[in-house]
């Protein structure tokens, strides 16, 4: 919920299946519910909330993968090209289970569990 629904068409235009949480669940759903839904539906969580990485570390789970962005401007116009490049470079790791952190200058991948 902390990223704009504008990401959905942007990602779809670049060949990535995408859905915004607002189309699936409650606005105030706890992070654990979002993580469980993503795990059950084999989805990747894309977020600006660092709590999802913390949840992964504490759970020792190998799914779901999480992409967390660490920038002030999280709009597709600002961050889109970097995200698409990272998705293409790390797609296999995300399919297997990974935490991908992206900022304005680089991306870092950590294989799950962490």
Kindly report, residue by residue over 43-61, the tens digit of the pLDDT: 999 999 999 999 998 999 9
Q: How many residues does the chain have?
A: 114
Helix (H, G, I), strand (E, B) or coil at 37: helix
**94 in a structural domain:** yes
Provide the domain count of the chain: 1
Averages of pLDDT over runs of 10 residues in the chain (114 residues) are 92 97 94 96 95 91 95 94 96 96 92 94
| 50 closest CA partner among 74, 26, 28 | 74
Q: Let me know: does 2 contact 28? Beta carbons within 8 Å.
A: no
Q: Let me know: does 6 contact 76? Beta carbons within 8 Å.
A: yes
Whole-angstrom distance, CA of residue 64 vs CA of residue 66 = 6
**1 in a structural domain:** no
Enclosing domain of residue 51: 7-111
**88 in a structural domain:** yes
Give pTM, 2 decimals.
0.94
**2 in a structural domain:** no
**97 in a structural domain:** yes
Report pLDDT for 52. Answer: 93
């Amino acid at each position: 919920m902390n990223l704009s629904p504008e990401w959905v068409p942007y990602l779809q235009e670049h060949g990535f299946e995408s859905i915004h949480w607002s189309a699936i669940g409650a606005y105030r759903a706890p992070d654990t519910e979002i993580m469980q839904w993503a795990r059950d539906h084999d989805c990747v969580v894309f977020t600006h909330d660092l709590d999802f990485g913390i949840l992964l570390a504490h759970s020792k789970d190998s799914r779901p993968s999480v992409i967390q962005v660490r920038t002030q401007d999280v709009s597709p116009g600002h961050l889109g090209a970097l995200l698409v490049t990272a998705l293409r470079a790390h797609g296999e790791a995300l399919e297997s289970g990974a935490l991908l952190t992206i900022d304005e200058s680089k991306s870092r991948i950590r294989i799950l569990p962490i």
